[in-house]
Amino acid sequence: MAKKSSKAQFHSYPQNVAEPCLQPITETIEKNYMPYAMSVIISRAIPAIDGFKPVHRKVLYSMYKMGLLGGNFIKSANAVGQAMQLHPHGDSSIYETMVRLARGNEALLHPFVDSKGSFGKHYSSDMQYAASRYTEVRLDKFCAEIFRGIDKDAVDFVDNYDGTTTEPVMLPTSFPNILLSPNLGIAVGMASKICSFNLSELCDGTIALLKNPGMDVDSMLDLIKAPDFPGGGLLVYNRAQLSEIYKTGTGSFKVRAKYVYNAERNCIEVLEIPYSTSIELIINSITDLVKEGKLKEITDFRDEIDLSGFKFTLDLRKNTDPDLLMAKLYKMTPLEDTFSCNFNVLINNSPKVMGVIEILSEWIKFRMECIRRETKFVLGKKEEKLHLLIGLGKILLDIDKAIRIIRETEHECDVVPNLMSGFSLDQVQAEYIADIKLRNLNREYILNRISEIDALQKEIAELRETVGSDSKIKKIIEKQLKEIKEKYAKPRQTQLLFDSEIKQYKEEEHIDNYNVRIVLTKEGYFKKITMQSLRGSDEQKLKEGDEIFISEDTENIADLYFFTDKSQIYHCKVSDFDDTKASLLGDFVATKLGFDENERPVFVKALTQIEPKHKIVYLFENGKGVRVPFEAYLTKTNRRKLTSAFSSASPVKAVFYEDAPFNIMIKNNAEKALVVNSEQIPIKTTRTSMGVAIMKLRPKQFVVSAERGFEKAIPGYARYQKAKLPAPGTVLAEKDIAELQISLLDL
């Protein structure tokens, strides 16, 4: 029998169907994925040293070519249509870009687009901008500084996508726009997030760097004090944090809302919010806190944004301290937000994360090249003019001869060659002279023109000197920056608030403290009962078939830790639960804390302070056990939910809190018991450790329960103890089983 081919073993295709082409994954990534990734990085998401992404550049340049710099307003739809010649990605993406650049959106400290109509607001996702057919735009006068020298070969130009026109590779910005305009971009495998700085401070810092390229970060911080955002707010000033951002281009700082207290209306008026948040996020956050009963100081809150500007109002209850309430809101809502910096910039088409000084140094290199090219362009024009005037000066010696040569030449095509031979001119000079009108072929006209030669020669010498001198080019940049600062600088909008002046809100300091009893039932109902309430009646109401699982006395300021059967821990405060009575069912914990589906609590512990001696003891169905220090569950961010808090390799059968050694009786399904002391169970610092075997189990045997506090019910429990672990346990006596059941019911 013939052996089947290996191809037939995998698949067979009809004769008229081509087999699929197999391609190694590395080749697929190299040929398909990498070009896409590089296109997103270079041509879409990451800004270049001029401070613009490609779409920004295309929109602004198309408006510049339309004559909208200093011109009249036109419909946005018209400007969008023209921009599509450079950016063929749909009108909606172009218009969204134009909106963000517009004055009406208030997203930039110095807008590039002057606008009429509704352009929405960057601080509100609900305030949508109007359609492009209803709004009008033109370039702001400030744009003169981003196009300075663009018509004098200051930057390279490339063909657009279909080769019908050209566009600039970058704009020759005469100020460091890369740090003036905030930018956010998400590429493939990397991102960029650049905050904005004050124009006046940027100009001062750049001028200082021009004079002293080796200046340090501290000196730069004295000039460029901190980021500055449109919309203002208060920047929590931490010099060490900002120094790290200035050095590396990465790091974060906090910005908080600015408010005033209106005593007449007894309300807080929030007038400025962090740049990175929105009014909707703030309202949603406060709404959730009010529903949870955590903001009882507020009676009402509303958005009062109108034509006069931003305002968010909070009505207060009588005798509420507004400063204390705002400290609480700063901690619990986006009224204080963190801005994370990632100064990723394209340098020669390669992304690079840089600090402030390095970015300014790269911009200076870029700007110096722009000015050098612009100077060369002007120099070339001056040299051309000088060359023509020198030729004109030659015919001054014999104007009649020039007229005679032109008059006596029979064919027009011979005029230029005859002038060239008659006066030793080159073709360019001869063409220029031949084109002079007959009325200008007089001594006065020619003398007036050639009188410019001396001035031109002096200008050309200066221009040549400038082209070859970095120091002269830097002087030009310095002069331009001073002019820009004088003409366009604005006062800082984001004020600085030193972190040493801030009083941090600590929730426990503002919670009423009193003694309470917490009760957890097996069905998952939780009660917080005041001692005063218990004096009246301590008879607990429970659902039918339910029973009390854990009951202990604690304080209202204590932390609560709920351990669940899904190996998770939920952390909250005792004060998060309302006071209740023994005669009520209480709160269903799974709903209150947002447990996962079918998740139930297996243990709860209230603690006001965690010490090294505090440990959690776990016993699992497979007979293993472990002790974990309570400190292992502390997190820097104080998370409310901790996943993978303990081992899930075997179902947990019991969880205990240990602050001193105690005895545990472990039972299996074969009615065997083993008594161990908690000190016999090993300590593991890894939260998810299973520990070691405590009770030996035969096949099909498993632990069914583990109890503490059984000593009074079973005085002779010593017979169930074993000196060496793991141990198989001893069969429970019938009397001990009965006593144990009665004692557990009493609990």
What is the per-residue pLDDT across 584-623, written as a single tens digit (0 to 9) for each? 888 999 998 989 999 999 999 999 888 888 999 999 999 9
**Short-list 182, 171, 149, 224, CA closest to 62:** 171
pLDDT tens digits, 659-693: 999 999 999 998 898 999 999 999 998 888 989 99
**Sheet strands (E) in 93-233:** 113-116, 136-139, 157-159, 166-168, 183-186, 191-194
Q: Does residue 441 or residue 290 have the better pLDDT?
A: 290
Supply the pLDDT for residue 545.
84
Secondary structure class of 469 (helix, strand, coil): coil
At residue 269, what are phi and psi to the nearest 5 degrees?
A: -110, 110
**CATH number of the domain at 506-609, out of 3.40.190.10, 2.60.120.460, 2.30.110.10, 2.120.10.90?**
2.120.10.90
Supply the pLDDT for residue 10.
42
Residue type, 448: N
Residue 294: pLDDT above 90? no
What CA–CA distance (Å, rounded) separates 701 from 436? 114
DSSP alpha helix (H) spans, 409-495: 415-423, 427-434, 443-450, 453-467, 470-488
Peptide bond into 14 cis (omega under 30): no
**Average confidence score pLDDT of the chain:** 89
10 Å CB burial of residue 286 (0-12, 13-18, 19+) is: buried
Structural domain spans, the chain: 52-172, 258-334, 366-488, 506-609, 613-628+649-747
Supply the pLDDT for residue 14.
55
Task: Work out the average pLDDT over 272-297.
Answer: 92
**Short-list 268, 22, 282, CA closest to 126:** 282
Least confident of 111-120, 410-419, 475-484: 410-419
The 10 Å Cβ neighbour count of residue 696 is 16
Are the C-beta atoms of residues 155 and 169 closer than 8 Å to each other? yes
Q: For residue 700, is it left (φ>0), alpha (ψ between -120 and 50) or beta?
A: left
Residue 15: pLDDT above 80? no
Close Cβ partners of 602 (under 8 Å, ≥ 6 residues apart): 563, 564, 565, 652, 654, 655
What CA–CA distance (Å, rounded) separates 422 from 417? 8
Q: Does residue 434 or residue 482 have the better pLDDT?
A: 482
Percent of the chain with pLDDT over 70: 94
CATH class of 52-172: alpha beta
134 is catalytic: yes
What CA–CA distance (Å, rounded) separates 386 from 367? 28
Supply the pLDDT for residue 20.
63
Secondary structure class of 456 (helix, strand, coil): helix
Buried b (16+ CB within 10 A) or exposed e, 615-649: bbbbbbbbbbbbbbbbebbeeeeeeebbeebbbee
Residue 273: pLDDT above 90? yes
Are the C-beta atoms of residues 223 and 201 closer than 8 Å to each other? yes
Q: Which helix (H) or strand (E) holds 222?
A: helix 217-223
Supply the pLDDT for residue 739.
64
- Indicate the pLDDT class of residue 16, thresholds 50, 70 and 90: low
pLDDT tens digits, 211-264: 999 999 999 999 999 999 999 999 999 999 999 999 999 999 999 999 999 999
Reading the block at residue 717, the tokens are: 């429990």
Residue 493: pLDDT above 90? yes
CATH topology of domain 258-334: Gyrase A; domain 2 (3.30.1360)
Residue type, 609: Q
Domain 52-172 and domain 506-609 have a common topology: no
Percent of the chain with pLDDT over 90: 60
- Indicate the pLDDT class of residue 8, thresholds 50, 70 and 90: very low
What CA–CA distance (Å, rounded) separates 553 from 515? 7
Supply the pLDDT for residue 7.
42
Residue 479: pLDDT above 90? yes
Q: Does residue 636 or residue 113 have the better pLDDT?
A: 113
Supply the pLDDT for residue 21.
67
10 Å CB burial of residue 726 (0-12, 13-18, 19+) is: middle
10 Å CB burial of residue 292 (0-12, 13-18, 19+) is: exposed
Reading the block at residue 322, the tokens are: 């507004």
Q: Of these residues, 33, 134, 161, 514, which one is catalytic? A: 134
CATH class of 366-488: mainly alpha
